[in-house]
Amino acid sequence: MSEPLLNVRDLTLGILRAGRLTPAVTGLSFEICAGETLALVGESGCGKSLSALALMRLLPAAIRIMGGEVRFQGQELLRLPETALRAKRGREMAMIFQEPATSLNAVLTVGQQIGEALARRGVKGEVARENAVTLLRQVGIADPARRLDEYPFQLSGGMKQRVMIAIALAGEPRLLIADEPTTALDVTVQSQILDLLAGLQAERGMALLLITHDLGIVARMAHRVGVMYAGQLVELSPRQTFFAAPQHPYSQALFAALPEAAPRGQRLRALAGQVPPFEAMPPACRFADRCERAEAKCREEAPELETPSPDKGRAGEGFAAVEQETMVKASGTLPNPPQSPLVRGDLGMAPLARCHFPGQISASFPVEATLPPESGSKTALLRVDNLKVHFPIHKGVLQRVCGQVRAVDGVSLRLMPGRTLALVGESGCGKTTVGKALMRLIPATEGQLVWQGERLFSDDKRQLRRLRRHMQMVFQDPFASLNPRMTVGEILLEGMLALATAQSEHAGRMACAALLTQVGLQADALDRYPHEFSGGQRQRIAIARALAVSPQALICDEPTSALDVSVQAQILNLLKDMQAELQVAYLFITHNFAVVEYLAHEVAVMYLGRVVEQGAVEAVLAAPMHPYTKALLSAVPRLEGQREIIRLEGETPSPANPPQGCHFHPRCPQAMPICRERYPETRTLAGERQVACHLAEL
């Protein structure tokens, strides 16, 4: 049995507000061995990211370490001088941060930033550039040599995330802390990144602390699973035990809130209430106010994190029967996690739970009421015909145009009232560009936009103001889209006053408080600033801002990517309710196919600026026709075990130089000679199914 590479004991963090230090993370203890993956899951704001930052001693100024110890390779880090700790950061310990847009340096090129990490282990000059190209290629970035000379603002959200991963891996660390490393990535690139991390673990014995809300990724990667709630570790279990019989009621509620657990016609079983604020933390069990089986003891006595015993509860009894559609039996059906000879042999240890009655469960989780029947109009709210968005490539001192990036290259869509169109595809394929072009935040090169029968013109400001009132957007990066100098109340109220949807400032603030409650935040958040919230909480603020003016159409760019499953359930229920009551149309840009299956009516699959397959969700997901769609669906992480992944050869081509013929043919396992000669026409099949593939012609 190897010694732990990282050993955390009783780590306690406090947050300084108004001169008072309030505990935020209390008594956190865990260990990770070389080659082992520990996954941390839990609601946004429960302290996962703070704990990770504390291990690297990169905490914000308002956060203080109040106690505990962190030992890395036997050395105490919390008492190590800053100069000595800098020698470890990026070399022996590295971190993939949650928000790449704010973590990357805006005035340095991608190559310079990767070069800084390579220099930590003495790699410089032309060798460093070659290594940087290799790293970008490993994380799935097309045309890596050109991307090295670009700045972060020139990259999509998913590309920035991959650059962050490349920087973290450049130092060849022994411990990698990955805070939502695949949040902004589509499923194929996500699968590629997970394979890369697993390979590095096996090759180098790298330890991985994985912070994620995606239980499918946890099932695929983790050896052990830790669940955090309100600043405490409430469960720590081996992976098989966790998925077969979770012990803590909060863990059980996370599984119950998964989109896969509810039919399309029912609301998701969202967890009632909210995480208590740190300054008003219950003295006993912190989950008691939201727990359906809480008893008097739960409100009087704080439970310890310990191994469940027979006299404390019937561990796991009845749970598989209640959630058999969502849960996985411990019978080997889970995917195998990365293997390493350095991982100690006692990973089958007994689970730990912070609960007076672990493993027990009520007769069943409450099933939410059925949603009202859909009654969408047959007339399109927004019609998009042959939309093209091309960006010029400038070169040289005179910045002459030497080419074009065909970000969107002929997309046609229909947004219907009361219906959801999901737009999926790899990062960089043009999904976000489509959304911004519809909002007219970037100019369209070609194409036609028709809103309720009225053609939209780019130079009509009065028309644009009317459009803003009826169509809003939830942006992919909530931190970059929220003004850091405005309070949450001012951010929400700004649009309501500008578009005259609030009669007065007082009425607007009342409406804002109600909105925050709807998206799962406390009303007192109105007077706080964006930097005081976690990534997932900022995402909820961005959603509340878009909903504040009661739009008819909402463009949602990865709106639930940074949210844990319990908050995701609240948001999806809210979106479903709004759609049923107000007939709001959604363009839902996402890579989460479970959300697509639950929420969307139609789905359009994009590849390199064009839609390659489109149709009803049930038809496309059940029987995909385009080889690219098949590859996407095969790469989705699943709780019940990973299906055979279709691994695409080569790299995603650059939109600045798309392949001749079908854009997908260099990576397609079914490519034919005709695929190299001409781009396939879009064929309309039964049920308004559309496919752009030569195979559909056979």
| Sequential DSSP letters for 598-624 | HH-SEEEEEETTEEEEEEEHHHHHHS-
Q: Are residues 668 and 577 in the same domain?
A: yes
Give the DSSP per-residue string, 291-343: -TT--HHHHHSPPPEE---TTT--TTTTHHHHTTTT---TTT-SPPPP--TTS
- Count of CB atoms situated within 10 Å of the CB of 589: 24
Q: Are residues 327 and 403 in the same domain?
A: no
In a domain, 122, yes or no: no
Domain boundary among 354, 369, 396: 354
H/E stretch holding 439 reads none
In a domain, 565, yes or no: yes
Whole-number pLDDT of residue 688 = 85
**Structure tokens belonging to residue 570:** 């609240």
Distances in Å between the Cα of 131 and the Cα atoms of 118, 119, 592 are 8, 11, 32
Q: Would you say 547 and 491 are in contact if contact means Cβ atoms under 8 Å apart?
A: no
Domain boundary among 338, 354, 370: 354
Give the dihedral sign, CA 102/105/110/111: negative
Mean pLDDT for each 10-residue chunk of the chain (698 residues)?
Answer: 85 90 93 95 88 94 93 94 91 88 90 93 92 91 89 84 91 93 80 86 91 90 95 95 93 90 80 82 92 91 87 44 38 51 48 89 48 62 94 82 89 94 89 92 92 81 81 85 92 86 83 87 89 81 89 90 80 86 91 90 95 95 94 85 75 85 93 94 89 86
> What is d(CA 217, CA 101) in angstroms, rounded to the nearest whole number?
23
Whole-number pLDDT of residue 354 = 95
Q: Are residues 453 and 313 in the same domain?
A: no
CA angle 658, 662, 664 (to 5 degrees): 75
Q: Would you say 209 and 178 are in contact if contact means Cβ atoms under 8 Å apart?
A: yes
3-state secondary structure at position 350: coil
Q: Are residues 277 and 183 in the same domain?
A: yes
Give the amino acid at 74: G
CA angle 270, 274, 276 (to 5 degrees): 155
> What is d(CA 603, CA 618) in angstroms, rounded to the nearest whole number?
9
Q: What is the pTM of this model?
A: 0.81
- Count of CB atoms situated within 10 Å of the CB of 686: 7
In a domain, 167, yes or no: no
Domain count, the chain: 2
- Count of CB atoms situated within 10 Å of the CB of 265: 11
Strand arrangement of the beta sheet that strand 75-76 belongs to? 20-33, 4-17, 63-72, 75-76
> What is d(CA 149, CA 154) in angstroms, rounded to the nearest whole number?
10
Whole-number pLDDT of residue 360 = 67
Q: Are residues 326 and 452 in the same domain?
A: no
Strands 420-425 vs 446-451: parallel, antiparallel or unpaired: unpaired
Whole-number pLDDT of residue 628 = 95
Residue whose entry in the numeric block shows the structure tokens 């026409």: 681
Q: Are residues 558 and 595 in the same domain?
A: yes
In a domain, 159, yes or no: no
> What is d(CA 664, CA 426) in angstroms, rounded to the nearest whole number?
12
Q: Are residues 310 and 394 in the same domain?
A: no
Q: Would you say 468 and 553 are in contact if contact means Cβ atoms under 8 Å apart?
A: no
Specify the long-range contacts of residues 614-617, CB closer than 8 Å, at least 24 apart: 614/689, 614/690, 614/691, 615/685, 615/687, 615/688, 615/689, 615/690, 616/687, 616/688, 616/689, 617/422
Q: Are residues 553 and 452 in the same domain?
A: yes
Q: Are residues 344 and 417 in the same domain?
A: no
In a domain, 237, yes or no: yes
Q: Are residues 296 and 395 in the same domain?
A: no
> What is d(CA 41, CA 670) in angstroms, rounded to the nearest whole number?
39
Whole-number pLDDT of residue 317 = 42
**Structure tokens belonging to residue 131:** 């290594």
CATH for 42 = 3.40.50.300
Q: Are residues 393 and 331 in the same domain?
A: no
> What is d(CA 561, CA 186) in angstroms, rounded to the nearest whole number?
10
Query: How many Å separate Cα 656 from the centre of its chain?
Result: 27
Domain boundary among 354, 372, 407: 354
Give the amino acid at 459: D
Give the amino acid at 132: A
In a domain, 683, yes or no: yes
How many residues are recorded in the chain? 698
> What is d(CA 123, CA 117) in angstroms, rounded to the nearest whole number?
9
> What is d(CA 532, CA 55) in angstroms, rounded to the nearest whole number?
20
Considering only CA atoms, give the Rg of the chain.
25
In a domain, 653, yes or no: yes
Whole-number pLDDT of residue 253 = 92
Q: Would you say 392 and 401 are in contact if contact means Cβ atoms under 8 Å apart?
A: yes
> What is d(CA 455, CA 26) in angstroms, rounded to the nearest whole number?
58
**Structure tokens belonging to residue 16:** 């300084």
Which domain covers residue 187, as residue numbers?
Answer: 4-92+173-354
> What is d(CA 406, CA 655) in angstroms, rounded to the nearest whole number?
5
In a domain, 126, yes or no: no
Q: Are residues 350 and 408 in the same domain?
A: no
